[in-house]
Amino acid sequence: MTAISKRFGAVQANREVTLTVAAGSAHGIVGENGAGKSTLMAILYGFYQADSGSIAIAGRPVRIGGSSEAMALGIGMVHQHFMLVEPLSALDNIMLGAEGHWRLTQARARVRGELQALMDETGLQVRLDAAVEDLPVGERQRLEILKALYRGARILILDEPTAVLTPQETEQLFVTLRRLRDAGTTLLLISHKLKEIMALCDAVTVMRGGAVVFDGAIADCSLDQLAEAMVGRRVKLDRDASAAPARPGATLLAARDLGWRDAAGVQRLAGVSLALRGGEIVGIAGVSGNGQSELLALLSGLAEAQIGTLTLGDESFQAGRWLDPSTARRLGLAHVPEDRHRRGMVLSFAAWETAVLGYQRSARFASAWGWMKRQAMRAATAQMMAAYDVRPRDVDLRASKFSGGNQQKLVLAREALAPESPPRLLLVGQPTRGVDIGAIEFIHGRLRAMRDAGGAVLLVSSELDEILALSDRVLVMDRGRIAGELAIADCSEAALGRLMAGVSEGQA
C-alpha cells in the first residue's frame, strides 16, 4: 500500500501511509485507538476507498472496490466483533453467500467434505452442526478464520483477534496462526497487546495520528520502544513501587456463601464469600468461565443469588429480596460491565444519551414530572469527556462511532462520576479489553485515584499483568469457588497460575 490517504469529514484518518508486507509473514499493525489502523485495513478489504494512493499485490497494481473484489484477490478479514448469524449453524455461516447450488442439501454435503479437509489441514476444529449462539468465543474465532480460508484467503487480516479470548484460547489461536504462516498465508495482525505482537509477528508497523511513525523487524525493536512510538512518550503500566501502600478502611460490601445455578441447573457459584473495604483494589483472577462474570452480576444486582447474603452499606439482601441495580446506585455502588456493547451502552444512542444511562432519573437530569433535562445531560457529558479524555469531544456522536478505548472511557466516566455523588464502590469487569496502551495507562490511573480517595474497587480481569499492577490483594476463582487469596506481596504469575488451575499451595 503506497501513500494511502483517507479523510472522513474533518478527521484525517490516514495520512500518506505506506505499508509493505512480505508474503508468508506475520506483520503487526499497532497504534492507539483512532490511529488509523482499522481504516487502513478496511481500505485493503474494500470497505472504504482511499482518497489517494495505490495498492499492489505480488507486484501487480489492483483496485479494490468492495469486499467481494478483495476476496477474489485472496484477501480475507476477521473482524473484532464477529460477523456471524448466531441462530444459523457453523456450516451454514460458512456457506452463506457461497452456496454454489440452489439445492442446499447437495451444497451442504459438498461444503462439509471440503471443510473437513481444511480443518484437518489447519487444525481449526469447529463443530459444524452447532448453532453459532451455542459456540464458545474461542470456537467462534476459529469459525471466522475458517470461513475466510474456505473462501480462498491467502492474505488474512485479523482485527484484535484475542480481545475476547482467554489466555488458553489465545495460545491455541497462536499455534494455528503460526501454522498458517508457515504454510504460506500472509497475516496482518491489528492488536493493542504488544506482547502478542512480539511473540507472533516478524515485522511491525506503528501508526500515530493516521501516519506511520515506526516500521521495522520485530528483532530490531523492544516492547518499550513500540509503546513509546505508539503514544509519543514513555508509558508505565507496571506496579509503581514508590506508590503509597493501600490503607484499607471500613468494610463497604460483604458477601457470604453466595450460590447460583444457571437455567440448565449447572452450579456456577458455590459458597463464595468476600469483603471489600474502602481504600483498596481487590483483584479477581481466574480463567474466564469460572464464575467471575456471575459474581459481578450478583454483586451489581443484575442477577439474584439463590443462596447466601449480601451486605451493602447498612442494608442486607438475601434470596427473594435481592439487590437491584437502581438500589445499588442509591447505595453508592457503580458497575462497569465486562461487555460494554451488550451491557454498558446502546450503540445507536448519541454519546450524551450513553453518558447518562442508569442515572437519567436523577434530580440533576430529570424534572419532578419526569422530563429530561437535555442541556444538563449534554453539559455533564462534555465534562465527563474532558475528565476522561474521550475523543472526539462530540456529545452528539453516535456511541458506535467511537473507538473501543473511547467507548470504555465513556462508560467508566459515567460510573465513576455519578451525578448525585461519586460512588463508594466500583465493580469493574475487564476494564481494558480491546483498549490501547495509552488508554490502559489512563484507566489504571483513574482506578488507583478512586482507591486513594477512599473508595473500594473490585477488579475482574483476564490479564494477569493488570491484576498484578493494580491489586492490593487478589482472590483467585476456580470452578465457581474462591480457590485462594493472596496479598499482592505474595503474588506472582506462577502462584496465581497454580490457583487458577485448581492446585493449592500445599499440593504445589
**Tens-digit pLDDT profile for residues 71-83:** 999 999 988 778 8
By C-alpha distance, which of 132, 70, 64, 121 is closest to 95?
132
Domain that holds residue 190: 2-231
Query: Does residue 445 belong to any structural domain of this protein?
Result: yes
Predicted pLDDT at 290: 87
- DSSP annotation of 80 reads S
10 & 78 share domain: yes
403 & 486 share domain: no
The beta strand positions in 306-398, using DSSP E, are 307-312, 315-318, 333-336
- Quote the CA–CA distance of 396 and 351 in Å, as a whole number: 6
Give 321's contacts (C-beta < 8 A, 6+ positions apart).
none
- Given a cut of 90, whether residue 18 has pLDDT beyond it is yes
Mean pLDDT value of segment 33-52: 92
191 & 74 share domain: yes
**C-alpha cell at position 306:** 439463590
Query: Does residue 340 belong to any structural domain of this protein?
Result: no
Query: Does residue 131 belong to any structural domain of this protein?
Result: yes
- Quote the CA–CA distance of 314 and 317 in Å, as a whole number: 10
SS3 state at 126: coil
Of 501 and 316, more confident: 316
Model pLDDT for residues 179-199, shown as the tens digit of each residue: 999 999 999 999 878 888 999
Query: Does residue 341 belong to any structural domain of this protein?
Result: no
Model pLDDT for residues 91-117, shown as the tens digit of each residue: 999 988 777 667 778 888 888 999 999
315 & 390 share domain: no
Predicted pLDDT at 167: 67
Q: How confident is the model at residue 243 (pLDDT cuts 50, 70, 90)?
A: low
CB hemisphere CA count around 19 (13 angstroms): 29
Q: Of 25-39, 201-215, 323-337, which gets the smallest average pLDDT?
A: 25-39
Model pLDDT for residues 356-405, shown as the tens digit of each residue: 999 999 999 999 898 999 999 999 999 999 999 898 899 999 999 888 78
**C-alpha cell at position 420:** 448525585
364 & 469 share domain: no
Query: Does residue 41 belong to any structural domain of this protein?
Result: yes
Share of the chain above pLDDT 90, in %: 59
- What letter represents residue 72's amino acid? A
272 & 377 share domain: no
Query: Does residue 180 belong to any structural domain of this protein?
Result: yes
Q: What's the gap between Cα 424 and its chain centre?
A: 25
Strand 211-217 to 280-285 pairing: unpaired
In Å, how far are 79, 112, 262, 363 from 130, measured between CA atoms? 21, 13, 21, 49
356 & 403 share domain: yes
Q: Which of 165, 198, 231 is the last residue of a domain?
A: 231
Residue 123 zone, left/alpha/beta (φ > 0; ψ -120 to 50; rest):
left
The beta strand positions in 101-161, using DSSP E, are 155-159
Residue in the structure block whose three cell numbers are 455502588 = 333
Strand 52-57 to 26-31 pairing: unpaired
97 & 180 share domain: yes
Q: How confident is the model at residue 508 (pLDDT cuts 50, 70, 90)?
A: very low
**C-alpha cell at position 357:** 444511562
- Quote the CA–CA distance of 84 and 313 in Å, as a whole number: 44
Mean pLDDT value of segment 305-328: 95
Q: How confident is the model at residue 242 (pLDDT cuts 50, 70, 90)?
A: low
By C-alpha distance, which of 182, 150, 142 is closest to 74?
150
- Given a cut of 80, whether residue 238 has pLDDT beyond it is no
Q: Which of 231, 259, 283 is the last residue of a domain?
A: 231
Model pLDDT for residues 247-299, shown as the tens digit of each residue: 889 999 999 999 999 888 989 999 999 999 999 999 999 877 789 999 999 99
90 & 194 share domain: yes
Q: Which of 231, 261, 291 is the last residue of a domain?
A: 231
Give 113's contacts (C-beta < 8 A, 6+ positions apart).
none
The structural domain count of the chain equals 3
Model pLDDT for residues 125-146, shown as the tens digit of each residue: 899 999 998 887 778 888 989 9
134 & 177 share domain: yes
Query: Does residue 338 belong to any structural domain of this protein?
Result: no
CB 437 within 8 A of CB 192: yes
Predicted pLDDT at 88: 92
Alpha helices in 194-291 (DSSP H): 194-200, 223-231
117 & 47 share domain: yes
**C-alpha cell at position 317:** 439482601
Q: Which residues pair with 158 in a beta bridge?
A: 78, 189
pTM of the model: 0.74
By C-alpha distance, which of 71, 105, 108, 77 is closest to 91?
108
371 & 451 share domain: no
- List the CATH number of the domain containing 507: 3.40.50.300
- Given a cut of 60, whether residue 507 has pLDDT beyond it is no
What's the mean per-residue pLDDT of the chain?
Answer: 89
- Given a cut of 60, whether residue 506 has pLDDT beyond it is no
Query: Does residue 427 belong to any structural domain of this protein?
Result: yes
